[in-house]
Structure 1
Amino acid sequence: MSNDTLPATAPAQPTGPAKGKRPASLWSDAWYDLRRNPVFIIGAAMITLFIAVSAFPGLFDTVGVDSSTCDLAVARKGISPQHWFGTDNLGCDVYSRVIHGARVSIIVGIVSAAVTGVVGGALGLLAGFYGRWVDVLLSRVAEIFFAIPSILGALLILAVIGRDNAGITSVVFALALLAWPMILRIMRAAVITAKHQDYVMAARALGAGPGRIMLRHILPNAVAPVIVVSTINLGAFIAAEAALSFLGVGIQSPQISWGLMIADARNRFVEAPLPLLFPALFLSLTILSVVMLGDAVRDALDPKLR
């Protein structure tokens, strides 16, 4: 058969619509993947709900019972139309306290993650970019804090501060003081990799100063792993606050947190399990949603996992 009689080969058709072409930038590409990841959607929806509860507890506290109002006559009662989650050992409404306790737990987690991300990220950027004595000094200081176990160190700090002065600020200070070295190491490694790339060399050749190179060229390309770790750390900080409050050195009454509620209900758990189960359930769901969110963000921002 001659070549003239061969059927013409049809041109390859595009596999998708022209408008569905994948974007080129890392952040646009990551957002493209996240919008199609059910793990991210579920995790984001859950954490958004918990943040809304913590920001506007009055919208969700529809029982009509004040969280600070307690009546010993109805202590350790079960679920009823007046008390959706029952009452605790002092006759306080568990549902109302769970709703209002979300604020402290989530604020501690968000602020601690933000502080460690900013402080550790800034120091890691300086250490990785300048190197030499700056890197040596910051790395040695970070290693000192790395040698201190997180919970044990936070217990010691809060014990020194004292229970009378314990609150959101002191808990955030204790957690952030011991967690920033991890972010420093991650940012430092990312900056060392990024500063040897061609676009940084080109910026130097064009006369860009150190500040412009760090903020405009290196930081946007090195901050992705810090965002991933900070997202996952959010759940760890929420759990740490609950642990510290449970041990009696964290949030103190009359403030409300899930860890403090669990601590108050543990001695009567067999007799009245609801005051412990509901705050523990909300705490677990919050941490689960953050972990799901962090895993999805990690998968989207890590090119090796594509």
Structure 2
Amino acid sequence: MVEPNFSSGRAAERPDAAVGSAPLAEPAAGAAIDPSKEPEGRKETKHLSRSRLIWRRYWRSAGGKIGLVGLAVILLLALIGPSLALWDYWVVDDNAFLSMPSGDHWFGTNQGGFDVFAMTVEGLRKSLVIGFAVAAIVEILAALIGASAAYFGKKVGMVLQWITDLLLVVPSFLIIAIISQHTAGSKSSTWLLIILLAAFSWMISARVIRAMTLSLVNLDYVTAAKFMSVPSLVVIVKHVIPNVASYLIIDFTLGVVGAIMSETTLSFFGFGVQKPETSLGTLLGDGMASATTSPWIFLFPAGVLVVLLLCVNFVGDALRDAIDPSSKSGGAA
């Protein structure tokens, strides 16, 4: 029978202590412990706010970085481009008709002697205004109508759904083309185009928001607000819509792309922005005929449009991955 060994002292009680080494010093009672020297597993996790967490996930995306930087450059070009241009977009150079890109005309000139760079910047400004304005109006309409359809119950919801389904089958392109033709060249033609594009673009987003908010209108705090006689519009705006803000942000970026594409298509066929105003669509339409003989008239506006749409798409995709917690593209928190 083996006798228990009591001669090893504290070394026997601490199997991790090396034989012959000095015993580990125990902290004195009441002594302060340095948090920096605590084991790694005992350190408290730093909590991040939702906005910082979204930004961290967004910035991990290479496409998000490219899109954000590219969009910032395009917006900067639209803001300061007119001051950089050597010519105004409405000024004709009588000595340069269909001239190639040079030091005097960076993007060359068109058939009328107008500077293509100045016209591209002006068209970019117009397209950006239309795209962002239409997307903003669409998200407001979709949020209010979709949330109202879910909040007010069957009767109001059925009426709003019927209106939504009706507008989905209306030939919007034909209606916009007919109305815009009668307002061509007027100062209000751009804003009328914005209203028309927004009026026929909110329906699908409203249906999605309605489906998302059906489960929200029965939550306890929404029910409590109803019993406290809080106005319905206040409940919808303050308690219902903020819960779908993530979708609205993503849909806004995609709506900008859709609005710019719609305006470009209409203007390309002569139904959108009308002369003397200009947009990227009108520039593409004017340069299409000479795309093979004088390619700079078509290629520069087309290149700016492609870069703009790619950057907005990159930003939208990165935002979707950053906001959606189930997405693997944004990486771990």
Q: Normalising by the residue count of structure 2, what TM-score does the alignment of the two structures yield?
A: 0.79
Judging changes above 3 Å, is the alpha-carbon distance between structure 1 residues 268 and 211 closer, same or farther for their aligned structure 2 residues?
closer
The corresponding residue for 1:277 is: 299
The corresponding residue for 1:245 is: 267
Matched, 1:13 2:35: no
The corresponding residue for 1:163 is: 184
Q: Is the 8 A contact 1:246 1:260 kept in 2?
A: yes
State the shift of 1:190 in Å: 1.7
SS in 1 for 2:320: helix
1:59-90: per-residue Cα shift (whole Å, max 9, x none)? 432xx222111235421111211111111111
Matched, 1:57 2:81: yes
Over the matched positions of the two proteins, sequence identity in percent amounts to: 25
The one-letter code sitting in structure 1 at the alignment partner of 2:319 is V
In 2, the alpha carbon distance for the partners of 1:123 and 1:207 equals 23
Larger radius of gyration between Structure 1 and Structure 2:
2
State the shift of 1:262 in Å: 1.1
State the shift of 1:224 in Å: 1.6
| Correspondences of 1:94-105 after superposition (within 5 Å) | 94-105=116-127
The corresponding residue for 1:38 is: 62
SS in 1 for 2:40: coil
2:99 to 77, 80, 92: 77
In 1, the alpha carbon distance for the partners of 2:283 and 2:152 equals 47
Q: Is the 8 A contact 2:167 2:203 kept in 1?
A: yes
Structure with bigger helix share is: 1
In 2, the alpha carbon distance for the partners of 1:97 and 1:151 equals 26
1:212-249: per-residue Cα shift (whole Å, max 9, x none)? 54333322112221221121110111111111111111
User: Aligned pairs, how many?
Assistant: 297
Q: Normalising by the residue count of structure 1, what TM-score does the alignment of the two structures yield?
A: 0.86
The corresponding residue for 1:122 is: 144
1:182 to 193, 199, 204: 204
In 2, the alpha carbon distance for the partners of 1:14 and 1:148 equals 62
In 2, the alpha carbon distance for the partners of 1:271 and 1:212 equals 60
State the shift of 1:177 in Å: 1.0
The one-letter code sitting in structure 1 at the alignment partner of 2:139 is G
In 1, the alpha carbon distance for the partners of 2:264 and 2:43 equals 48
The one-letter code sitting in structure 2 at the alignment partner of 1:228 is I
1:191 to 208, 213, 216: 213
The one-letter code sitting in structure 1 at the alignment partner of 2:40 is Q
Judging changes above 3 Å, is the alpha-carbon distance between structure 1 residues 164 and 94 closer, same or farther for their aligned structure 2 residues?
closer
Q: Is the 8 A contact 1:46 1:289 kept in 2?
A: yes
Judging changes above 3 Å, is the alpha-carbon distance between structure 1 residues 122 and 236 closer, same or farther for their aligned structure 2 residues?
same
Deviates more, 1:85-94 or 1:186-195: 186-195
The one-letter code sitting in structure 2 at the alignment partner of 1:250 is G
Unmatched tracts of structure 2, length 5 or more? 1-11, 18-37, 329-333
Q: Is the 8 A contact 2:183 2:189 kept in 1?
A: no
Q: Is the 8 A contact 1:57 1:99 kept in 2?
A: yes
Deviates more, 1:47-56 or 1:286-295: 47-56
Matched, 1:235 2:262: no
1:47 to 68, 71, 81: 71
1:199-219: per-residue Cα shift (whole Å, max 9, x none)? 545x45984734554333322
Unmatched tracts of structure 1, length 5 or more? none
State the shift of 1:45 in Å: 2.0
In 2, the alpha carbon distance for the partners of 1:40 and 1:150 equals 33
Judging changes above 3 Å, is the alpha-carbon distance between structure 1 residues 206 and 164 closer, same or farther for their aligned structure 2 residues?
closer
Matched, 1:68 2:95: no
**RMSD over equivalenced CA pairs, Å:** 2.9
SS in 1 for 2:66: helix
The one-letter code sitting in structure 1 at the alignment partner of 2:196 is A
